[in-house]
Amino acid sequence: MARVFNFSAGPAMLPEEVLVQAQLEMLDWQGTGMSVMEMSHRGKEFMSIAEQAEADLRELLSIPENYKVLFLQGGASMQFAMVPLNLLRGRTQADYLNTGLWSEKAVAEAKKYCQVNVAADAKPNKYTTVPPRKSWRCNGEAAYLHYTPNETINGLEFQTVPEVDIPIVADMSSTLLSRPLEVSKFAAIYAGAQKNIGPAGLTLVIIRDDLLDISIPGTPTMLVYKTHVEQQSMYNTPPTYAWYLAGLVFKWLKNQGGLAVMGERNRRKAELLYSTIDNSEFYGNPVDPNYRSWMNVPFTIAKPELEKVFLQEAKAAGLVTLAGHRSVGGFRASIYNAMPEAGVQTLVNFMNDFANRNG
Ligand code: PMP
């Protein structure tokens, strides 16, 4: 079967060139006579793959020298615990912005370890916009501010980094690498890989090196950032194949022209989709245009009874995984880096045609 345009929120599409290269190297990585999956993580071959991946990521994001890059497991969900366990640093309170369902999960986990102050809450407006900065109630005693720059389910994305005077921690699972980023504005950034980075099973953490000295006593060794910093993310066996594939994705991004080029491409893709929705009476998206996500575009149709038909016909047209998250319904098109502009164009052509026939 021909490859489809897969709008899944994650695990998501990977660049075809990356998959082809992985296929070519599957049985014999660069004359070693073995697959990357079969290599010792401590051997010089895998070490070179690991080091190159980190170097390419550092170049893509211009990561300053005083930041460590970790290649971990446990998903972004494990970071919901690792962040308070490591970054409270003797304090007992933290500020969180609640802008969607992933923020809610981060808040719930942090409450096990500290007093959480929700400095701004978008829930009352159903996560369609972020309360204005001047209304936020930040806590002077907070160790850090945690937020979710892009809410994968609700399709709400900050277009700028919040201005606060405490360390900022960001769950960038569904936005990292989608556009240029000023890493130095953050104390720590984390992201599950399965959207813009590579396959599931790998979690990236980028953390300022002066924040690594204290974790809550009793924190399991595996949940202490310093453990992984001191062992170059090889305290235990890392997810070697996912790390390798992420490295191929980083090379692909560099070949595309880097994050400025990707950002422009992603902006065009999102604009095309939102303008199709806004110019139609048939489709709707409730999110404040100032906070609309470039990566995850939820939408509804005027006749919800046709949702199943929409999904069936879309699938027949090679457009798959467009159902909205089970908690919000409707549809969602996730248009990460690996979704080509042609995929979004095919989707909007289908949407216009469907509306003409059913609207
Ligand atoms: N945060 C965000 C913003 C997400 O989109 C996701 C996954 N969709 C998670 C956290 C949870 O990630 P994981 O499944 O890797 O734990």
226-273 pLDDT, tens per residue? 999 999 999 999 999 999 999 999 999 999 999 999 999 999 999 999
| Residue having the nearest C-alpha atom to atom 12 of ligand 1 | 76
pLDDT for the residue 126: 96
| Residues 56 and 121 grouped into a single domain | yes
Mutate to test the pocket of ligand 1, among 147, 171, 173 (most ligand atoms within 8 A of CB): 173
Specify whether 23 is located in the same domain as 123: yes
Which of 256, 280, 303 marks a domain boundary?
A: 256
- Whether the CB of 75 sits within 6 Å of ligand 1: yes
Residue 214 alpha carbon to ligand 1 centre in Å = 26
Ligand 1 centroid, distance to 18 Cα (angstroms): 23
pLDDT at 358: 97
Quote the pTM value: 0.98
Q: What is the CATH number of the domain that holds 245?
A: 3.40.640.10
Residues spanned by the domain of 171? 17-256
The per-residue pLDDT for range 190-232, each reduced to its tens digit, is 999 999 999 999 999 999 999 998 899 999 999 999 999 999 9
Domain assignment of residue 320, yes or no = yes
- Give the pLDDT of residue 270: 98
At 146, phi and psi to the nearest 5? Answer: -110, 135
Q: How many domains does the chain have?
A: 2
56 lies in the same domain as 140: yes
* Predicted pLDDT at 329: 86
Across the range 31-40, mean pLDDT stands at: 98
pLDDT at 328: 84
Looking at residue 23, what is its pLDDT?
Answer: 98
- Check whether residue 208 and residue 297 sit in a common domain: no
**Neighbour count for residue 174 (Cβ, 10 Å):** 30
User: Do 58 and 70 fall into the same domain?
Assistant: yes
Q: Identify the band that residue 1 occupies on the pLDDT scale cut at 50, 70 and 90.
A: confident
- Verify that 248 and 268 share a domain, yes or no: no
Q: Domain for residue 11, yes or no? A: no
Percent of the chain with pLDDT over 70: 100
**Is 349 within the bounds of a domain?**
yes
CA-derived radius of gyration, the chain: 21
Residues 125 and 29 in one domain: yes
Percent of the chain exceeding pLDDT 90 equals 97
115 & 185 share domain: yes
Q: Are residues 59 and 133 in the same domain?
A: yes
Q: Are residues 21 and 91 in the same domain?
A: yes
User: From CA 299, how far away is CA 282, in angstroms rounded?
Assistant: 10
Same domain, 129 and 246: yes
pLDDT score at 359: 86
Q: Give the max Cα distance, the chain.
A: 63
State yes or no: pLDDT of 85 exceeds 90.
yes
Q: Decide if 12 is inside a domain.
A: no
> Using one digit for the tens of pLDDT, what is the confidence trace for 294-348?
999 999 999 999 999 999 999 999 999 999 998 888 999 999 999 999 999 999 9
Q: Is 102 a catalytic residue?
A: yes
**Mean pLDDT for all residues in the chain:** 97
pLDDT at 41: 98
Same structural domain, 122 and 238: yes
Residue 57 is predicted with a pLDDT of: 98
Which residues face 189 on adjacent strands? 170, 206
Residues in Cβ contact with 288 at an 8 Å cutoff, skipping those fewer than 6 apart: 128, 129, 130
